[in-house]
Amino acid sequence: MSAIDGLPPLREVIATHELSARKSLGQNFLLDLNLTAKIARQAGDLTGVDVLEVGPGPGGLTRGLLAEGARRVLAIEKDRRCLPALEQIGEAYPGRLTVIEGDALEVDPLEHLDAPFRIVANLPYNVGTELLVRWLTPKVWPPVWDSLTLMFQREVAERIVAKPGSKAYGRLAILAQWRTDPRIAMNLPPEAFTPPPKVSSAVVHLTALPAPRFEADAKVLERVVAMAFNQRRKMLRAALKGLAPDIEDRLRSVGIAPTARAEEIPLEGFCALARNVA
Ligand code: SAM
């Protein structure tokens, strides 16, 4: 069956370019173009939209993004073995795909793409979490992106959308929910990937809010939350001792019991505390 872009099926692309998956690069490929189109659609209507894709690999998701109408895709890929396959995609969509060989942690997309753009990625999980935290903590808000559509290990996806009182609630939930609207858009079993990873995955979609839900200085909030959850079993008066000598009074003055644990405090409480200790 020929694909809508007239390009060869992904299994053939992988065989032609000898793209055997490398564990060291976290390579678990998506080879079903119906599935990659569905993932691309989770980023919303892409007509006329610019997209940053991180880790395109053999290009299944890239093809989905272009077929769904993205105006331009900037793809950053570390593995140079994938470049010829990506070049072929660029030829099928003239002027719409720019591929940069490099490490997404080091390349500045603004050198190649005008803001705002959407970010879509199926990345190795360790790199994905690091990039997510960076994308959530820019110096200025709103950020250069208007949404993120990212594949994560199911467990990490749950941490991003977790509510207070749950084990999954922590730093990721607070950073994500403070200034974005995050939701789990799709669940994927291990068999959706080649080779299959050990765990299930999920696509998380995060929409940037125009302004934070509650006022706070980003650096102070990050510090408070990191301290609170680093010792999540401790009462806050102990976990946050280093924050201020009179932390018990400060906690009380923002309506938080000094004996409470980080897990119980809603986003609003952390923001109030960050304002108080700023
Ligand atoms: N997006 C493709 C797909 O869905 O089939 C590939 C997904 S695979 C999980 C992750 C891709 O990210 C691989 O192609 C890998 O080479 C690339 N990658 C790993 N670390 C990277 C980094 N730091 N910067 C850019 N790409 C990276």
Q: Say how many CA atoms lie within 13 Å of 8 toward its Cβ.
A: 12
Give the closest residue to 132 by CA, choosing from 56, 211, 74, 143.
Answer: 143
Task: Decide whether any atom of ligand 1 lies within 6 Å of the 26 Cβ.
Answer: yes
Would you state the structure tokens that stand for residue 42, as one six-digit string? 């989770």
The annotation places the binding site at: 28, 30, 55, 77, 103, 122
Task: Decide whether any atom of ligand 1 lies within 6 Å of the 79 Cβ.
Answer: yes
Q: d(Cα 224, Cα 243) in Å, to the nearest integer?
A: 8
Q: d(Cα 267, Cα 174) in Å, to the nearest integer?
A: 6
The pLDDT profile of the chain, 278 residues, written as one tens digit per residue, is: 446 788 999 999 999 999 999 999 989 999 999 999 999 999 999 999 999 999 999 999 999 999 999 999 999 999 999 999 999 999 999 999 999 999 999 999 999 999 999 999 999 888 999 999 999 999 899 999 999 999 999 999 999 999 999 999 999 999 999 999 999 999 999 999 999 999 999 999 999 999 999 999 999 999 999 999 999 999 999 999 999 999 999 999 999 999 999 999 999 999 999 999 99
Buried b / exposed e along 32-71 (16+ C-beta atoms within 10 A): ebebbbbbbbbbeebeebbbbbbbbbbbbbbbbbbbbebe
Residue 14's φ and ψ, nearest 5 degrees, are -65, -40
Residue ranges covered by each domain of the chain: 2-208, 218-277
Structure ipTM = 0.99
pLDDT digits (tens, 9 = 90+) for 11-37: 999 999 999 999 999 899 999 999 999
Give, for ligand 1, the residue of 14, 27, 63, 76 to mutate: max count of ligand atoms closer than 8 Å to Cβ: 27
Task: Decide whether any atom of ligand 1 lies within 6 Å of the 104 Cβ.
Answer: yes
Q: d(Cα 29, Cα 8) in Å, to the nearest integer?
A: 16
Q: Could you tell me the CATH superfamily of domain 2-208? A: Vaccinia Virus protein VP39 (3.40.50.150)
Give the closest residue to 201 by CA, choosing from 44, 42, 3.
Answer: 42
Query: What class, spelled out in words, does domain 218-277 have in CATH?
Result: mainly alpha
The DSSP result for 57-101, as a single string, is TTSHHHHHHHHTTBSEEEEEES-GGGHHHHHHHHHHSTTTEEEEE
Would you state the structure tokens that stand for residue 32, as one six-digit string? 């079903």
- Going by the DSSP 8-state scheme, the letter that residue 48 receives in this structure is T
Give, for ligand 1, the residue of 33, 76, 77, 86 to mutate: max count of ligand atoms closer than 8 Å to Cβ: 77
Going from the C-alpha of 176 to that of each of 12, 39, 67, 137, 172, the distances in angstroms are: 39, 20, 29, 9, 6
Please state the separation of Cα 222 from the chain's center in Å: 18
Task: Decide whether any atom of ligand 1 lies within 6 Å of the 182 Cβ.
Answer: no
Name beta bridge partners: 216.
none
